[in-house]
Amino acid sequence: VMDHISEFRSFSFHSPGALYVELFLAVAALGTVSLFKQRAFGPALLSVGMLHLSLYSARHLPTAAVLLLPLSVAALTREARTWPAMRRFLDYSDRLRAIDSRIYGIVPIMLVLALTAVGVNALSGAGRVGFDAGTFPVRAADFLEQRTREPDGLGRVFATDQWSGYLIYRFAGDSKVFIDGRSDFYGQNILESYARIVEVRPGWEAVLKQYDVRFVMVPPDSALAASLQLSGAWKRIYSDPVAAVYERIS
């Protein structure tokens, strides 16, 4: 069941921004080797464990980054101090740190944060801050938003757990979804029903009918989209490269 929950799956290195995850893993791996070399076995074993969890499930990546980057950078810095070629750069870094201690380094940090907040607010006001339309069903949600103006409202929507979280945010909770990323909240039965639908196992249509699902929003190349296209009970009412929307007609 957990194989269908995005946060429990391994990180996809084909995803946008994968380069940053790869850089983190490379730094953490090099730092782990340095920690073992420096006989710092406690932090080294922690690094090994967190690297394993990071590769096993994407949900552990943020925690691993917070824990391992300081340890890894410190270990690599200690290692670099033994290299004559790096001595000039490290001495320069030490001088910068001494300057920061004299001019209250927190001041420029707060200034940068304030300018960032002002910039983000300005971009938001100009409509340039939002969800990536290449990853989330932004245009499909725009289409569904027109349906909320109907007398009977939008009704319940089935989508992937990640997309459902976006729909909850987009419609401020007015749209009912089948399941979202809070997988531990729904319980085993709902998770098994979700897996049955996504895998198009026997009885998937009965589950959608049981929960009175009116719309299904899925990637257009998914197995579920192909099955809905062949079903006489559903009609495709919208499609783009990211998402297809099907409406129950019987």
The 3-state secondary structure of 83-128, one letter per residue: CHHHHHHHHHHHHHHHHHHHCCCHHHHHHHHHHHHHHHHHHHHCCC
Residue 138 has pLDDT above 90, yes or no: yes
Per-residue confidence (pLDDT) for residue 91, from 0 to 100 = 81
Give 78's contacts (C-beta < 8 A, 6+ positions apart): 34, 38
pTM flag (> 0.75): no
The model's confidence at residue 149, banded by pLDDT at 50, 70 and 90, is low
pLDDT digits (tens, 9 = 90+) for 84-129: 887 788 788 778 777 767 666 677 778 889 998 888 777 666 555 5
Give the whole-number percent of the chain exceeding pLDDT 90: 52
What contacts 243, CB < 8 A, 6 or more positions away?
137, 139, 140, 163, 217, 218, 219, 220
Q: List C-alpha distances in Å: 161 to 65, 74, 104, 108.
A: 24, 38, 45, 40
| Spans of all domains in the chain | 1-82, 87-129, 138-248
Cβ count within 10 A of residue 7: 16
Alpha-carbon torsion, ordered 161, 153, 227, 13, to 10 deg: -30
